[in-house]
Chains A and B, each alone.
Chain A
Amino acid sequence: MVNAESRGRRVFRSVNGLILTGVVVVTLYPFVTIVARSFSGERQIRAGEVNLWPKGFNLTTYRIVFQDGTFWRNYGNTVFYTVVSTAVAMVLTTCYAYVLSKRNLRGRGVLVGVAVFTMFFSGGLIPTYVLVTSLDLKNTVWALALPNAISVFNLLVMKAFFENLPDELEEAAQIDGLGTYGILLRIVLPLSKAVVATMVLFYSVSFWNSWFGAFLYMDRIELMPVTVYLRNLIAGATGGTGAGAGTEQLTQVAANIQAVTIVLTALPILSVYPFVQRYFVSGVMLGAVKG
């Protein structure tokens, strides 16, 4: 069949390839520049010499950042917050989605409605803040994990996936003596690795990247995730020149230190992608069939 490709098709493919290569270049360029900067000297960066390849190659910047206690503490926080929040989110979302997937459940429409309602309306910033504060969640991981434990989008994708599983499997399990939880844990979940892996990826990436919740609910710098650290670092370098901003109080954070921090922050979550990717594609596709 390979030879049967028409001329038009070949042209289409090569044009396609060209365009996509262009997209890849555009997407990768900022990453490559940042990596190059992280290995470059500050003078070269300032003079605009650094592009795709490091100039004035050195590892000093990495050494400086590695020695920064605040950075590592915040980095550890990010890992901790991400793991706990993702675990909580997975348990709650899975249970909710599984329940919703049962067509014979009475009041199912209401339960779906409750979830979907929060997609369109939220309590607003201040009431949410007051709620979290009065529940004494401030300065704990729960302030980040609980308010974001269920993403409605993820919930609906999972629900669609569960609805797709043949009912006969569960019936057979029931006849063999499994209860509701047994069915979920021993039949449904092992068959749902794809969607579970996808959801873990979705959740962990969003928790890893998020900063706003921590910014709201954390009062001490040593409790902040690394995203807040990074945001502060970059804002400090770009926001200091407005009217009245005390220049003496805001020395610029060197461009190479910024670059190193960005690289170190993005690296772990980037390296997770390739391993989860095969689940990722099939998981989303499966959910989409009946979405």
Chain B
Amino acid sequence: MPARNRKQWMTDPQLPRGDWVDSRVYSDPEIYEEELEKIFKKVWIPLCHESELPEPYDFRTATIAHEPVIMTRGPDNAVRAFLNVCPHRGMMIERRPSGSFLEGQPSGNPKRMTCMFHAWQFDMKGNCVYISREKEGYQDRICKEGQGLRRLRCEVGMGGFVWVCLDDQPEHSLEEWAGKPFECIREAIDTEPLEVFHYHKAIIGTNYKLWHDTNSEFYHDYMHYHNRVTGFNDEYFARKNIAFDHGHVNVSSFEVKYEEYEGFESREELSFPKFPPNQWYMVDLFPGMNFNLRGSAFRCDIVTPLGPNEVMIEFRGLGVKSDTPEQRRTRIDHHNSIWGPFGRNLHEDLIGVAGQGTAMRPGTEPRRILHGRHEDNYIHDEVGMRHYYDEWGKWVNRLPSDPTQAYKSPAAAAAE
């Protein structure tokens, strides 16, 4: 059928309900706030990597949902996380992205976090260690022993990432949550300490899930010239999507033949510990984190939703801490050629999702977004998205193909 009139356009496709989602899941402001409350404040979020705060008294700041978070490394070398909020009058304690508390701040002393406003100080474990003129103003009614910081669940793992959960009683430990999807690359990233060598960010006018969808499917390789000329062969199609509990997905390995692409040398030599060279694995974690280990380059991207139609994506590239300068340089070059901000693919992926965001602004009509490719879970199958939105539907109790309805499983929906 050629072009369609409104009635034809708005008719639901003759597909099972899990094979499409309603565009309002990407554009509705109420759904966005629900996602922050019901998902982002409940799950493990990888905020940074341990190499970004390597020494005792180092810190790193970030946010989850609307809340500012600070991570500190104590003199005992442990990493802890807190709300980056002073218990006095709610000021953000530390404004810089990273640094060290070894030197005192202008209003405070070495080895302590100081809220510049009234010089209240906290140690790396979140104890309040100083309230200026405490007795004079508070007598015995408020004392520093009762004014510690709000501490948050924090674990370092899966290749040295620092994971924080705003829920004191997360439903799953980090290992239960992410252990299985990471299994395929666990040895490669846990054997030796890693180090971040690349960081940049993008703020794009689109929903965070649209970015994650692009990480969840490879059908969009059609937009990348070099993928088309080098990759669409038998080996390419021999990759499969594997679904895990909690909405996570893996894409399994195949051997990448870089030398077929003009301008690249083979990457066979350099890899990660215990990881065969030229292997490739991708880990997509619900609700929006991607870890991608491809031969010599390990990258990840993490979303921070800013609005129904706005997302910050942080891009990192990692190597092994003990890399020689030559090895590190090789990793950096390989990383940049594809995923650098001036490299091949990333620019195109971002154009794609930005274009989706443009066409799905709050207030646009509800449209059907097709996730209907079925190819026995092979590489162009869209099972990654179907699996994600089925999980999503349970968290927010909405049916992805009609978010005005309560969640029902695909089987229950089919039965109707």
A, B bound: no
Chain A residues near B (Cβ < 8 Å) = none
